[in-house]
Homo-oligomer: A and B are copies of this chain.
């Protein structure tokens, strides 16, 4: 049940970074120092530091040391933003209507998305967010009860699911997929849109400590919403090709 040693070292370093104790530019312990303090071999320390470097948290300089990296500038498209706040920031009125709130047995496809080995139950939530009374987002969300057991006890008229989850569970990894879809009849009805209007579907998965927290599909009517991001690129040029 205990995690591998190299993972423990990674977690130890990540916690110092998350807590703010080690700010960007700070030097982290060298491999030999980790060998001493954790009583591990150098190869194990090397693996921890090498993987954190590949993940973008650290940068290493031969002969000098290992340092906390500057976090990259990222777009709002890729951040976990709360739609209620976005709408409020535009000076408009947000409201939500809950269509379904239930607990289900995970079907095969969902179990795979949640990286579950055994059959399990999942929270399911379907709701519509409106801006000044006009539906702008259909939220179809599944949540892992193992990670967020009290999710289904919340009243999502008061707090959005995103806001609750971000506050309740430390998210350390995100995956986004964006595609264009033609909504189903049920989705059209919930969003109150015409028959041939395409929609943007934002599919999001989030992880916390190796477990999938939630799988959400957010559907935006094309005429009412676009996703936007603008950011400075890092000076070293992370741009490939």
Q: Which residues of A contact B (CB under 8 A)?
A: 14, 17-18, 20, 51, 54-57, 71-72, 74-75, 77-82, 85, 162-163, 166-167, 170-182, 196-200, 220, 222, 225-241
Contact = CB atoms under 8 A, between A and B. Distances in A.
Given A174-B231, A232-B172, A238 B14 contact: no
A230 B206 CA distance: 9
Contacts of A237: 18, 170
Given A57-B235, A182-B222, 9 more contacts: A71-B238, A74-B231, A85-B241, A173-B233, A177-B229, A178-B178, A178-B227, A179-B200, A180-B222
A160 to B, nearest CB: 8
B236 A71 contact: yes
A236 B171 contact: no
A71 B226 CA distance: 26
Contact of A198 (B177, B198, B231): B198
A72 B200 contact: no
B55 A222 contact: no
B198 A182 contact: yes
Contacts of A231: 56, 74, 78, 173-174
Given A175-B230, A233-B173, A240 B198 contact: no
Contacts of A200: 178-180, 200
A14 B235 contact: yes
Given A198-B182, A232-B172, A163 B57 contact: no
Contact of A240 (B81, B175, B181): B81
Contact of A175 (B162, B178, B229, B236): B229
